[in-house]
Structure 1
Amino acid sequence: MQAMVAGVLGAGGRLFVGVSVGAATAVAELAFLGWAALVALVELIRGRQAVGIERPARHLVEVERRRIAAFLPGGAAVEHLDDYPGRRAVAYLGVRWLVGLLGGFVALLFLYGLVTGAVWARDLFVGRSGALIVSAQVVGGLVLLFLAVQGFLGVAALDRWLAGRMLAPSDRARYERRISELAASRAGVVAAVDAERRRIERDLHDGVQQRLVALGLLLGQARRGTDDRARSDDLIRQAHDEARQILADLRDVAWRAYPADLDNLGLAEALARVAERGGGPVAVDCQVGRLPTAVETAAYFVVSEAVTNAAKHAPGSRVTVSVVPAARGVRVTVTDDGPGGADPAGGGLAGLARRAAALDGSFTVDSPAGGPTTVTAELPCA
């Protein structure tokens, strides 16, 4: 019960602070709009277009976004509204000051009610008012309190709606941005596929092909050396070893292209194989079951590439792999305690970023000098 009361009081306090701060920012916005109107008028007289007013407008809008997200209920929805033009910021401030002053008026009424309630309580305790008058005052005070609370909630809802309405991109802007993202994602996927083909060709040419040539030479020598039985047996033994190594190399190439265990046994088993082949201590914590094939594939390659990079650039470092459910789907995190300094624009990491973008996911690399390096991918499962 006490926890619930404390929670209600805390939420009410944040709401009061948020609306009160909004009233103060409304005054600042009115001052800005007056200055902007004066600048625009002067520039109009000079026959020039007004410049220099959009940047301060964006600063004021950012203050409003942070205030709404921090203090108003449901305000977290405006945190992502950061891609708006400067003109829209000026238009938003041109309307928003009305909401701020309305919130200030409600806050003043609330404070006036508190002072009046304190006076009523004093009169009750000193016996200046009768029971009937005090009862009427209490009922009236409760009604005013209810109206004040509704006023705060209404101002908060109006503030939140106005920000979402005027700062959110238009349908056309959203479509254009989405088309650009899809075009970039498609180009990235094509580039990643081409890079993977080149890597496979290089592995086959420099590894398997060279061993096949050596195998052919050994078999040819064994075939010609029929007079020396021991020599022939040694050549055949070397050829057998080469054949086994060729088979292992082919399995490695096939595994890097697409691991069969991913389809047969699932993501957890495939990541366990990555840990075994990681070349160092790798701890895997996979807390998800079967996922859509595209998501499992992307998650696998994120882990595989990150573990390979850690073994290559930070040999001996301890690697921790975490695959956990997230709000939109699954979150993949790979951390190593190496020296850091990983380049997100490098070929391997850039390819992973394109792979995540192709699924409408996100990919980040945090690798300060001195470490640790953390690779995180958010992959939606819709």
Structure 2
Amino acid sequence: MPPLVPPLRGGVGPAAEGLRLLRAVVLGTVTALLDVVFLLLALPFAGHPAVRGTARRLAVIEARRLRLDPAALDLGTDRPDGRELRYLAARVPVGVLGGLVLTLLVYGVGVAVTLVWSWGRGLPFDGMTPSVPLLAYLLLGGVVLLFLDLSGLAGVHALERRLAVRMLGPDPADALRRRITELAESRAGVLEAVDSERRRIERDLHDGLQQRLVALSMLVGRARRGRSELLAQAHEEAQQALAELREVAWRVYPSGLDSLGLADALAGVAERSGVPVKVVCELSVRPPMAVQTASYFVVSEAVTNAAKHARATAITVEVRERDTMVVVCVRDDGLGGASAAGGGLSGLARRVAALDGRLRVDSPPGGPTTITAELPCG
């Protein structure tokens, strides 16, 4: 399930985050008043689909204001249980509370500005003239009140987020059952992918390498009977057999990942490809070995498919970091029409799903084809 709270973007400081929080509370106060008007007008028609649709759209607006994912809150479909209307009714008091806290903040800032303006011009304020004890008292009291007010704003914002997640989010038991189902499907997919890979390796060994070794044995036998001109042909067959054996071994597990790392292993894929491949690998730290292995196989399978089936003339491979994920993107200028349900790509999807990742295939007829794998590292 996608996260309900998206991670903060890099470079966002406390001041910027505080301004976002203040803006969210201000907008929450305004939308609370609008929600009151909507509820008064809509409650007599609560069961009408149009009312439910409007309530859902208002709930989506509130989720985005609170930086929550509407898809994770299951706000994309019509639910006849009236959960959105109950949420809008429940958040009205919280929005009004936020308005009261904002009013206290504005009043306190106004009093402080008026006090400084009056004393700056040498005028008494409410019968008070500045002195050191009075200034120290007002400064200490103002800092404490400002801290309490800002804490109230943060508390209102946190309360609104928890209320939205609690009332709009999926039922915990349903989410747990869905997660168990996903894990069971992922486990079955991994087992199927392993069996499919074993069958492919056996087929490569039987149909390719075994036949070549038989031919090599026959050539050596004929050469021993005095036909020395066959030794050169036997040597060539041996070199091709070694190349095929190395290729099969790399399909089983790319041993270069252990010593060279993902970038060099992908460079090897580009060198062995019959189509020009540009590789861009920008990773600040080395991902877990399982993520590197899955990334390698995604690139290897996508490059092979583009060269064999899509008639591509250029392929671009990009491996980058995004938050806590490694994103692998392979693009080619081939004919397109690749299907995620195909044998090779479906196996990749199962391999990626085993790591709780996602594989997307965008391949319209006529091309281009883009295969994107998102692999979590956390």
Q: What TM-score range do you get, normalising by the shorter chain?
A: 0.7 to 0.9
* Counterpart pick for 2:103 among 90, 94, 108: 108
Would you say 1:203 and 2:204 are equivalent positions? yes
> Cα–Cα, structure 1 residues 119 and 198, in superposed 2: closer, same or farther, change >3 Å?
same
Is the partner of 1:259 in helix, strand or coil?
coil
In 2, the alpha carbon distance for the partners of 1:60 and 1:176 equals: 29
* TM-score of the two chains, using structure 1 as the length reference: 0.73
* Corresponding residue to 1:357 among 338, 348, 353: 353
Query: 2:372 is paired with a residue of what secondary structure?
Result: strand
- The 1-side partners of 2:71 and 2:261 are apart by 35
Q: Which residue of 2 aligns with 1:300?
A: 296
Could you say what secondary structure the match of 2:270 adopts?
helix
Aligned length: 353
Q: CA RMSD in A?
A: 4.0
Determine if contact 1:362/1:378 at 8 Å carries over to the other structure: yes
Say whether the 8 Å CA contact 2:73–2:165 is kept in structure 1: no
8 A contact 2:189–2:350 mirrored in 1: yes
CA pair 115-269 structure 1, distance change in 2 beyond 3 A: closer
Kindly indicate whether the alpha-carbon contact (under 8 Å) linking 2:355 and 2:375 is maintained by their aligned counterparts in 1.
no
Gaps of 5+ in 1: 1-6, 44-49, 70-75
Higher mean alpha-carbon deviation, 272-281 vs 369-378, is at: 369-378
C-alpha deviation, 1:184, in angstroms: 1.9
Change in CA separation of 1:145 and 1:286 when aligned onto 2, cut-off 3 Å? closer
Cα distance in 1 between the residues matched to 2:236 and 2:56: 69
Name the structure 2 match of 1:233: 228
1:347 corresponding residue in structure 2:
343
Matched ranges for 1:127-146 at <5 A:
129=124, 133=128, 139=138, 145-146=146-147
| Structure 1 or 2: more helix by fraction | 1
- What is the match of residue 257 of structure 1? 252
SS, match of residue 333 in structure 2: coil
CA contact (8 A) 2:312 2:335 kept: no
Structure 1 runs of 4+ with >6 Å offset: 140-143, 219-223, 367-370
State the alpha-carbon separation in 2 of the partners of residues 292 and 13 from structure 1.
37
Cα deviation, 1:252-285, whole Å, max 9, x if unaligned, reads 2222122333456554553343232133244353
Q: Secondary structure at the match of 1:169?
A: coil
TM-score scaled by length of structure 2: 0.74
After superposition, the Cα gap between the structure-2 partners of 1:24 and 1:343, relative to the gap in structure 1 and judged at 3 Å, is farther
Deviations 1:5-48 (A, max 9, x none): xx7765554333211211121123223333443124xx6xxxxx
Rounded Cα–Cα distance in structure 1 between residues aligned with 2:359 and 2:312: 24
Identity of counterpart residues, as a percentage?
47
Structure 1 position 82 matched with structure 2 position 73: yes
Q: Which amino acid aligns with 2:87?
A: Y
Q: Secondary structure at the match of 1:233?
A: coil
2-structure distance, mates of 1:311, 1:109: 67
Name the CA distance, whole Å, in 1 between partners of 2:17 and 2:217. Answer: 79
Bigger Cα displacement from structure 2, 27-36 vs 57-66: 27-36
* Residue in structure 2 matched with residue 271 of structure 1 by the alignment: 266
Residue 97 of structure 1 deviates from its aligned partner by 1.4
